[in-house]
Structure 1
Amino acid sequence: MTSPVDAFEQLVDLFDHRGDQVLEIEIIPPSLGSSFLKDGCAMGISKKALIQAYMVARRVFFETCTSMSSNELVADLLREQSSSVANKEKFVTEIMLLFDCEHLTAANWRKCRILAALAQHEGPSNQTSQQTRMLKTELTLLQSYQCSPLPRHTKSPTLWSHRLWTLEHLINLVELSVDTLLDLQRHELEVVLRAAELHPRNYYAFTYARHLRSLLVRTAATITTESISCWELRLAKALLSPVLDWCLAHPRDISGWSFGLHVLGHCEDRQSHEEAVKRVLQFALDVGWEGESLWTFVDQAVRRFDLEDTVVNECLPLPRTLERPGAVAEDQTAQASWRAWLSRAQANWAACKADRS
């Protein structure tokens, strides 16, 4: 039987050897007969062992970490840099956040530790690479939480807020090019979409994506001569296709469609609006999709970007066999607008079926 100290030591050893790797962490059932399982970057831990490790980590944290001043944090960082053996205190908050992703005190202590490292050598110096590495390691730790099949971590507002804070400090620390910004946006979108896949209707993940896009737009405008509006359009267009791909693969997810509409709103040209709505409609018509989330996106996009003529004339014309189609559509729109578009699609499906028979 694993003791609390043994469970704590095993998790410390795991995080100590993680480096910058992204782990996939999962809670395993006790029926497997082991408290810990590890295969490459995949790791399993029983709920009992995690609770035991957390109790030890929490005790160590409140006995040693919470009382550390800024100078003590700096001294601890210097000892860590000069020694090949990491202090166990470094991993205490990692274990605490693995158990309780909303432990605000643990998350804030990690912020204080990062700020102490950033203040250690302000301005250009040979320490910048160490500070950059520390921030990147923090991001991969958060990705290990947010992209693992854990019950709450994928939708944790504390973790997503901490990720945005960390990324903002990383952007301020390093020199970025246009290509680097686009790569960063692409990578962060992958993290968001993976978290949204693990936890459907992940409002917090997509809220992070909104804030991140705004941060990258402001950053891009400071490193180039292009205006903010130009970067709004450029970054939104880079997001649009992968976001729509994900939404069509998860058509029930209203949070994904809401973010897709947000991105589409920053693509100011009408061609992008029309192509996106046509693509969604073509998918719905091809597979016979009747879910509310997709048709709500269609309705809101049509209203927001004034695409009714495009949708009615090209994608969803009412069959000629229906009497007074305009009156039917108006009546349905008055009741529930998204249902009006669905009714048009159903009428088309019925007409196609009648033609085939």
Structure 2
Amino acid sequence: MSRALDPETSVSVQDSLPVEIYDQIVAVLCTPRDLPLEIELLGKAHPIPSGETYLLEENYLAIPKAKLVQAFVVARQIFSKLFRKCSEEKRGQLRDATAVMLLMDPEHLTAANFRKSYILYHEKGERFGEVLSRELQFVDTYLTARLHRHTKSPNLWSHRRWLVQQYRRAKFEVDVKGHFEKIVLIAAERHPSNYYAWSHMRWLVDKFASTQVFKLGLLPVVQDWCLRHPSDTSGFSFLLYCLDIPRKPEIGNQDVVEVYKEILNIALSFKWAHESVWVFLRTVAASVADTDGSGLSFEEAIDTALQAFVHDKKTQLTLNSSMKWYTENRQTVSS
């Protein structure tokens, strides 16, 4: 979502500061739910009925951008007024204001930091677990929303990492696979090549999952996702990470070869020209070439692919570049 305002929206904001719109948006954003909200922002081309602030059906929420801008102005005023002299009874109001502020601007660092301080304020209380869970659902709602900036927001992903760390400190279980399937994959789906989402997953695995659990539980899921998104370079980079290329002893060579051969066969069958696929294949082939002869299959695959793309100069360049890299690096990577 762009922060730029068209002239009509600017006039609408200047004409009034509707507190009632703010209150209604806060209520729908901050009400605890069984499932995270699916949020979309509507432009002028999608008007809603007169007198309505948003559209809500089950957990699907649509808010006109003009309404959100009006609510943001009110939220910022409330935050500026209460932030410096925040009494205990006003903390909830500030937290509600930050929900609107982060929906409008996911990189609002001050808003995210206040939400951290709100959680720490309850750290020694009986409701700490409830407050943590509610905050995690809140940030996950934004990270998986159909909002381009939110799914790839450094500020929101950093906030989520901090929340997971608080979970560990509080001795709560961290379900790595659940985080992956319900949050990371959705964010990666809604913003292709989502570096921040995949980096978050690497951090989760490094901190909370053993190599064996990761290999048995997540590798098939990652491979399936990559096969359904062959152009996503960040996904294939994470698959390399799954295979531990260059490998450590915990992951057997046979596991790597099986994944490599399956993706290689599919790439040839469907005539995939995606650079992400061939970069993945060249890297794995180089790492196993000296141990089981799989590198020869890569050379043959390049020849087959070049014949399939004889009239596609761009793809031929990708394939030749992959072959050149493989030839130059197979000894280095496998050593």
TM-score over 0.5 (shorter chain): yes
1:154–1:333 distance in 2 versus 1, CA, 3 Å: closer
1:232 CA displacement: 2.1
Any residues of structure 2 matched to 1:98-117 within 5 Å, and which?
A: 98-117=103-122
| Aligned-pair CA distance for 1:279 | 1.5
Corresponding letter in the other structure for 1:234: V
Aligned to 2:102: 97
Q: Is the 8 A contact 2:153 2:196 kept in 1?
A: yes
Counterpart of 1:187 (choices 178, 187, 190) is: 178
Q: Given that residues 132 and 174 in structure 1 are in contact (C-alpha distance below 8 angstroms), is that contact kept between their aligned partners in structure 2?
A: no
Q: What residue in structure 2 maps to residue 23 of structure 1?
A: 37
How far, CA to CA, are the matches of 1:66 and 1:151 in structure 2?
Answer: 32
Q: Following the alignment from structure 1 to structure 2, what is the Cα–Cα distance between the partners of residues 43 and 108? A: 26
Residue type of the alignment partner of 1:107: A
SS of the aligned residue for 1:38 comes to: strand
Which residue of the partner structure matches residue 62 of structure 1? 80
Match of 2:189 in 1: 197
Q: Residue 333 of structure 1: CA displacement?
A: 11
Gaps of 5+ in 1: 78-86, 122-126, 218-230, 323-331, 342-357
Structure 1 residue 7 displacement after superposition: 1.9
Give matches, 1:30-109, under 5 Å.
Answer: 30-34=44-48, 35-68=53-86, 72-73=87-88, 87-109=92-114
| C-alpha deviation, 1:95, in angstroms | 0.7
Q: State how far apart, in whole Å, the 1-side matches of 2:180 and 2:59 are.
A: 21
Letter in 1 for 2:74: V
**Partner Cα distance (1:239, 1:47) in 2:** 38
Correspondences of 1:221-240 after superposition (within 5 Å): 231-240=210-219
CA 1:43–1:338 in structure 2 vs 1: closer, same or farther (change >3 Å)? farther
How high is the TM-score relative to the length of structure 1? Answer: 0.74
Q: Could you tell me which amino acid in structure 1 is paired with residue 179 of structure 2?
A: E
Q: How many residues align?
A: 290
For the 8 Å contact 2:95–2:118, the answer to whether it is kept is no
**CA pair 338-259 structure 1, distance change in 2 beyond 3 A:** farther
Q: Which amino acid aligns with 2:197?
A: A
RMSD over aligned Cα atoms: 2.7
Cα deviation digits, residues 179-206 of structure 1 (max 9, x gap): xx5xx11111121111111011111111
Tell me how far 1:43 sits from its aligned partner. Answer: 0.5
Cα distance change of structure 1 residues 308 and 104 upon mapping to structure 2, 3 Å threshold: farther
Unaligned runs of 5+ in 2: 1-11, 308-316, 327-335
- What TM-score, normalized to structure 2? 0.79
| Pairwise CA distance, 1:141 | 0.8
Amino acid at match of 1:240: L
- Measure how far apart 1:235 and its partner are: 1.7
Instruction: Give the letter aligned to residue 111 of structure 1.
Output: K
AA of the residue aligned to 1:312:
L
Q: Does the CA-based 8 Å contact 1:333-1:340 persist in structure 2?
A: no
1:170 matches 2:170: no
